[in-house]
A and B are shown apart, each in its own frame.
Chain A
């Protein structure tokens, strides 16, 4: 688990990568943990679509407010950070 998203056997990471790659119109394999959404061409609308896709995919609620993305308590600074946040939310839900 964790940030080791280069392993293809982490289903959460793979799913999150697929959602982001779908918005960025690139192959999920081209994403790295350091990839930043803005650098991938994902704009603010693309970001909220990613959040929506993640919520639908994992049945979770992501605390994200587009007005104050920095204070949302959900780190969107990179692909790796997003995966880590999703893993936390999924674990919390399972607990």
Chain B
């Protein structure tokens, strides 16, 4: 089987508009959660979120193209451009046939849906813009990435709520490993910080009104964010042959289904997903140097995830650094595990573990080293990145330092 490496990464998220900006924010423990600015915010009971600030779409896309691009597609395209530029790949006609794209999203063109429901229901209009469907469809972002770069191989979208991007990257990994493609662009994006997007989440009563404090005893729930990241996954020999810089190796992927409750997390499902990922990587639990947790900041998730980590990591569980970067960039729902993989890359490349910020006091039920508030230097060779979705669908990636 082909070994798979990462040769490029790009992002647009609340912490930064590129890789260096995001790494700097993760290193500094910066929290991007702030007041929401969407229309009718006064009618929301949750008025905080992690927005991307200062992004001007018209600086990146001509006007005629923008009419086809929901914000989640814009985020994916901007990220993909950066990732491909970093990879140095030249996508000619031949390679294009061996290249594809798999992206995750939970809400797709949620803002487009929101805007147009408002137009027909609230404003009573009987006509909507002709591109509502091509904007809102979940595969729009992947399709636009394929079109911009001429990716003509396997291409599709995964939608598994909060695990969408990890499922996407897992599929991309398996496609390259199995020889179905030489190059895959993969990751995910989300943009649902609109009135309807937030109102729906309010209904679940799992949202914090102030900020996100994963694993902290006084945590009050999750905080939504927007953004995404895209990576270039490539066969090791393919990358070597062109002298590419290798950022990390994708070592293993595991997934499982709780087949239990539609929203309540389960212990067994996450345990099986983590074990499957490690087994796929051919690595023992003892090899894990850092875990990027799902860490949503809800009581149900954080306690269950801590227990699951204790089962998987055994006696070392309390010593392995485990952080939730959602405390900084918020929960980017379907795009979140892509942005969280950036923290994993930073740990492998720079030896810096991003912290869990907003942490105030230990929870006796969570016996983990959550890297509170301040980033830490460490030699990191193996990282595990968790995503446990509503619907009980779990996806875990394991990355290895290369060389």
Contacts and interface: CB of A to CB of B under 8 A. Distances in A.
13 contacts: A25-B64, A45-B68, A45-B130, A45-B131, A48-B130, A49-B67, A49-B129, A49-B130, A49-B131, A52-B129, A55-B127, A56-B127, A61-B127
A23 B68 CA distance: 13
Contacts of B127: 52, 55-56, 61
A68 to B, nearest CB: 16
Contacts of B68: 45
B51 to A, nearest CB: 29
B64 A46 contact: yes
A51 interface: yes
Tell me what chain B mostly uses at the interface: helix, strand, loop, or mixed: loop
Interface string A5-32: 0000000000000000001010000000
A70 B153 CA distance: 36
Contacts of A23: 64
A51 B130 contact: yes
Interface string B60-73: 00001001100000
Interface of B: 64, 67-68, 127, 129-131
Nearest to B128: A52
Q: Which of A48, A49, A55 has the most CB of B within 10 A?
A: A49
Interface in A50-71: 51-52, 55-56, 61
Interface of A: 23, 25, 45-46, 48-49, 51-52, 55-56, 61
Nearest to B126: A61
A2 B98 CA distance: 55
A23 B127 CA distance: 19
A61 B130 CA distance: 13
Contacts of B129: 49, 52
A15 B104 CA distance: 42
Contacts of B67: 49
Nearest to A56: B127
A51 B128 CA distance: 12
A40 B93 CA distance: 28
B274 to A, nearest CB: 45
A65 to B, nearest CB: 12
Contacts of B130: 45, 48-49, 51-52
Contacts of B64: 23, 25, 46
Contacts of B131: 45, 49
A48 B68 CA distance: 13
A24 to B, nearest CB: 9
Nearest to B67: A49
Given A49-B131, A55-B127, A61-B127, 12 more contacts: A23-B64, A25-B64, A45-B68, A45-B130, A45-B131, A46-B64, A48-B130, A49-B67, A49-B129, A49-B130, A52-B130, A56-B127
A46 B64 CA distance: 9
Contacts of A61: 127
Nearest to B134: A45
A56 B129 CA distance: 10
A42 B64 CA distance: 11
Contacts of A46: 64
Contacts of A25: 64
A47 B67 CA distance: 13
Contacts of A52: 127, 129-130
